[in-house]
């Protein structure tokens, strides 16, 4: 009886050890500082960033250009801080979000946290694939005037991205070395053409007035909401970065210096530029869809038009693979360990298409959606960071992350402290209006720490202070 029980436990533990979810070895950390920077730049320069810039102006009802600069700086700054903090888990221990969430939520509770995190990924994969498919459809229409089949382009474009994701993070970073320069050229061309066509200068654009009908909190959460998903998956990215041989003796900032620099440049600097170009184009063309903007500006030059549509497709490709395909693929692997990585990657892509997010358009819908996502995800990242920094003090039992019967089993696989925290913090955050994301994040940290110290830690030995490596 006892032998059978332990055999069953061992089999269940083996199910948690999908090769893609095991701690990254130093030999597998292949991303240089510049690879990581260009990876973030590739994710940041995308249709959502461009379109948000246009929608934040919202026909003059929203933010002025200078207010947008401030909002983007604060929003991306917040995301950078949260991503670096979460990324330290990947830097030190080489485990992805799907695995570390077992510590905070229990090995079964991590399934729920992961599914919540998957929703924005599915949505944005579908939306950005649709944008890229439209760009490809326009290219085909230029080459073959009778061609018009967005559905076919949608399927083919999704397939290309899925295949690219299967080759891993390094392949995506190499692809971004092509995509990012093309996008930079296109954005520069958009700014120059807008200035020439409408007889304005950059100071003129920056001086445009707006009613400012967004609260600062709502505007920042709208920026942050699109990237809180990547903050949660900070470990997934950081565990791919090369680290120093002396990382165990380095402080938080020093051992994560490559991640910090990469995001300051690839996310913040590039993100500000992308959104400002989008706002400038939106003010004068009255369009938020980059495909329509490009067509309205360059329809008299087929060569430039084709180049821009290719750049748009590449922009969605570079963002989707790293930000919207690989994270949910890892999460689904955690939930369904008998599957293979290629299966969960395909499933993630298919779900994104079936959601058909392109059906929802009009007004400032992207701003609203991102703000809603931030409210949904705030408590999850709050719990994860509180668990790692405040409860475990950056020291974890890695081996038990892959052991069903270990310290993270809690109550039938659920950490009730995180369950209660999720319910309370999300519910209370809804009462905070425009401040819901910030409220959910802060409340979740407080409630989780209180519950863990007063209840869970007294009932379950968490081996605090013990750095226990993974045993293969």
CB 437 within 8 A of CB 221: yes
CB 89 within 8 A of CB 235: yes
SS3 for 113?
Answer: helix
Mutual angle of helices 109-143 and 302-319, in 10-degree steps:
170
pLDDT at 457 over 90: yes
Answer with the residue of higher pLDDT: 412 or 361. 412
pLDDT tens per residue, range 146-167: 899 999 999 999 998 888 888 7
Band (324; pLDDT cuts 50, 70, 90): confident
pLDDT at 366: 66
Dihedral sign, CA of 372, 377, 379, 382?
A: negative
pLDDT at 5: 42
Q: If you search the block for the tokens 């990215």, which residue do you land on?
A: 237
Band (365; pLDDT cuts 50, 70, 90): low
Least confident stretch, 92-106, 362-376, 397-411, 456-470: 362-376
Mean pLDDT of 317-334: 82
pLDDT at 219 over 90: no
pLDDT at 355: 86
Residues 6 or more apart whose CB falls under 8 angstroms from that of 340 comprise: none
CA atoms within 13 A on the CB side of 239: 23
Query: Whole-angstrom Cα distance, residue 332 to residue 180?
Result: 29
Mean pLDDT of 299-319: 85
pLDDT at 4 over 60: no
Query: Whole-angstrom Cα distance, residue 351 to residue 116?
Result: 14
pLDDT at 458: 95
Alpha carbon 321 to its chain centroid, in Å, reads: 11
CB 126 within 8 A of CB 356: yes
pLDDT tens per residue, range 21-50: 899 999 999 889 988 998 888 778 777 778
Band (7; pLDDT cuts 50, 70, 90): very low
DSSP state of 23: P
Band (172; pLDDT cuts 50, 70, 90): low
Band (423; pLDDT cuts 50, 70, 90): very high
pLDDT at 6: 40
pLDDT at 367: 65
pLDDT at 187: 87
Mutual angle of helices 365-385 and 109-143, in 10-degree steps:
150
Domains of the chain: 27-241+250-364 (1.10.4160.10)
pLDDT tens per residue, range 87-122: 999 999 999 998 999 999 999 999 988 888 888 888
pLDDT at 226 over 80: no
pLDDT at 329 over 70: yes
Answer with the residue of higher pLDDT: 410 or 230. 410
CB 272 within 8 A of CB 69: yes
Nearest Cα to 182, choosing from 298, 268, 310?
A: 310
pLDDT at 8: 45
Nearest Cα to 237, choosing from 388, 349, 84?
A: 84
Mean per-residue pLDDT over the chain, rounded: 86
pLDDT at 148: 93
pLDDT at 1 over 70: no
Residues 6 or more apart whose CB falls under 8 angstroms from that of 165 comprise: 172, 321, 322, 325, 326, 329, 345
Least confident stretch, 269-273, 285-289, 303-307, 446-450: 285-289
Nearest Cα to 376, choosing from 221, 195, 165?
A: 221
pLDDT tens per residue, range 191-213: 999 999 999 999 998 988 888 77
Mean pLDDT of 452-471: 94
Band (362; pLDDT cuts 50, 70, 90): low
Query: Whole-angstrom Cα distance, residue 147 to residue 401?
Result: 52
pLDDT at 420: 97
């Amino acid at each position: 009886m006892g032998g059978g029980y332990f055999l069953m436990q061992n089999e269940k533990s083996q199910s948690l050890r999908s090769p893609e979810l095991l701690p990254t070895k130093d030999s597998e950390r292949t991303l240089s500082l510049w690879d990581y920077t260009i990876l973030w730049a590739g994710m940041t320069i995308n249709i959502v960033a461009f379109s948000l810039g246009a929608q934040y102006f919202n026909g003059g009802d929203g933010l002025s250009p200078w207010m947008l600069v401030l909002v983007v700086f604060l929003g991306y700054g917040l995301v950078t801080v949260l991503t670096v903090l979460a990324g330290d888990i990947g830097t030190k221990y080489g485990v992805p979000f799907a695995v570390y969430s077992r510590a905070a939520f229990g090995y079964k509770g991590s399934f729920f946290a992961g599914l919540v995190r998957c929703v924005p990924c599915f949505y944005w994969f579908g939306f950005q694939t649709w944008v890229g498919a439209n760009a490809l459809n326009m290219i085909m229409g230029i080459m073959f005037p009778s061609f018009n089949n967005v559905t076919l382009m949608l399927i083919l474009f999704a397939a290309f991205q899925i295949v690219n994701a299967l080759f891993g993070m390094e392949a995506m970073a190499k692809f971004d070395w092509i995509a990012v320069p093309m996008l930079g050229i296109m954005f520069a061309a958009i700014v120059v053409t807008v200035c020439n066509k409408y007889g304005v200068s950059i100071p003129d654009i920056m001086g445009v007035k707006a009613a400012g009908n967004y609260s600062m909190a709502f505007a920042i959460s709208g920026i942050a909401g699109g990237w809180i998903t990547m903050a949660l998956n900070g470990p997934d990215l950081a565990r791919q970065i090369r680290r120093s041989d002396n990382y165990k003796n380095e402080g938080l900032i020093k051992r994560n210096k490559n991640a910090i620099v990469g995001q300051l440049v690839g996310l913040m600097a590039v993100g500000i530029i992308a959104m400002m170009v989008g706002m400038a184009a939106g003010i004068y063309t009255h369009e938020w869809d980059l495909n329509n903007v490009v067509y309205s500006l360059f329809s008299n030059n087929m060569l430039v038009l084709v180049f821009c549509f290719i750049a748009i497709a590449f922009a969605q490709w570079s963002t989707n693979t790293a930000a919207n395909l690989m994270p949910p693929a890892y999460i689904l692997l955690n939930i369904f360990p008998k599957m293979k990585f290629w299966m969960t990657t395909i499933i993630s892509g298919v779900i994104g298409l079936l959601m058909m997010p392109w059906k929802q358009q009009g007004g400032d819908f992207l701003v609203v959606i991102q703000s809603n996502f931030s409210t949904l995800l705030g408590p999850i990242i709050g719990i994860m960071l509180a668990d790692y920094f405040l409860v475990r003090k950056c020291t974890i039992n890695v081996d038990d992350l892959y052991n069903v019967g270990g310290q993270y089993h809690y109550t039938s696989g659920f950490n009730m402290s995180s369950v209660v925290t999720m319910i309370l913090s999300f519910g209370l955050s809804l009462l905070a209006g425009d401040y819901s994301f910030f409220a959910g994040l802060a409340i979740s940290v407080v409630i989780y720490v209180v519950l863990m110290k007063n209840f869970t830690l007294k009932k379950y030995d968490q081996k605090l202070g013990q750095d226990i490596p993974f045993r293969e």
